[in-house]
Amino acid sequence: MLLHLRMVQDMQLRNLSPNTQERYLYHVASLTKFHGRCPEEMTPDDVRAYLLFLCEEKNLNPNTRRQAVSAFRFLFWTTLGREWSMKNLPLPRVQTKLPVVLSKEEVIRFFRSVLEFRFRLLLMSAYSAGLRVSEVTRLCINDIDSRKMVIHVRQSKGGKSRFVMLSELLLGQLRTYWKMAKPKLWLFPDATGEKPVSVAKVQSVCREARIRSHIDKVITPHSLRHSFATHLLEAGTDLRTIQLLLGHAQLTTTAIYTHVSTEKIAAVVSPLDGLEV
């Protein structure tokens, strides 16, 4: 219990996002359960054995295993102060996959398949401004600035804040929602009204709506963020602006959308068309 508290405090001192903190604690708890003893008693070989278990038995993808390694590095190096070599906790090679992107017609079908108004509005908010699910669930009423027509995204990934555009269509829907639900602090609270709605609940709503929509794609809340970026790119928005809206630290992260923008790709003239064959 003391180790858990100390790790939480260490993460808070370094401004790790709530989502990152939750994931790190999950991986540490899984490691503890696997070996049946406290991490303070573990050696590098114990951690290596668990990582092999994740790879060979659980067959987890490299990105999830990288996340686990990052959690263990934080635990043992930062919180416990262990001077282990980098070789003890190797990072799996990144597995880059093209994101799932919905067409504009599919976005409409998907939204119409979300039965509850507040969740439809939450997902519309995510798409309208390219928000992460952890960002849209933690929006407060005061984050909506109708005078400047911006949304203030506070303490997002990496502890950074940013402003994104506020859609006029979304604003009208939000006003209708506010009159109906009268939220006090959180824009999209849970059933108690005291906390923001959980990410797991939003993911569940997404899965149910995808089934009703009959769209043959794996749709998650993050798919709406990917679709936002791709649709902006296809509309002529430059990558630098999209990078700022998404809150990416590196432009190279945003550049992946150039690989999934089929309209941009289809508009390029093939060199074969310039040949007289």
pTM of the model: 0.68
- pLDDT tens for residues 216-242? 999 999 999 999 999 998 888 888 999
For the annotated catalytic residues, the residue numbers are: 132, 157, 222, 225, 248, 257
Token pair for residue 25? 């604690």
Instruction: Report yes or no: 137 and 188 within 8 Å, Cβ to Cβ.
Output: yes
Q: Please, is 242 exposed, middle or buried when counting C-beta atoms within 10 Å of its C-beta (0-12, 13-18, 19+)?
A: buried
In order of 159, 193, 208, 247, the CA distances from 252 in angstroms are 20, 39, 33, 12
Residue 208: closest CA among 120, 121, 114, 137: 114
Task: Give me the pLDDT at residue 272, please.
Answer: 46
Coil, helix or strand for 276? coil
Residue 167 near residue 147, CB atoms below 8 Å: no
d(CA 268, CA 276): 18
Mean pLDDT by 10 residues, the chain (277 residues): 90 87 94 94 92 89 89 94 81 77 95 96 95 94 94 79 93 95 94 92 96 94 93 89 88 77 65 67
Q: What is the pLDDT of residue 268?
A: 64
Q: What is the DSSP string of 52-104?
A: HIIIIIS---HHHHHHHHHHHHIIIIIIS-----GGGSPPPPP---PPP---H
Q: Residue 58 has which token pair? A: 């659980």
- The length of the chain is 277
Tens digit of each residue's pLDDT (9 = 90 or more) over 102-155: 999 999 999 999 999 999 999 999 999 999 999 999 999 999 999 999 999 986
Map out the domains of the chain with their CATH numbers: 2-88 (1.10.150.130), 104-265 (1.10.443.10)
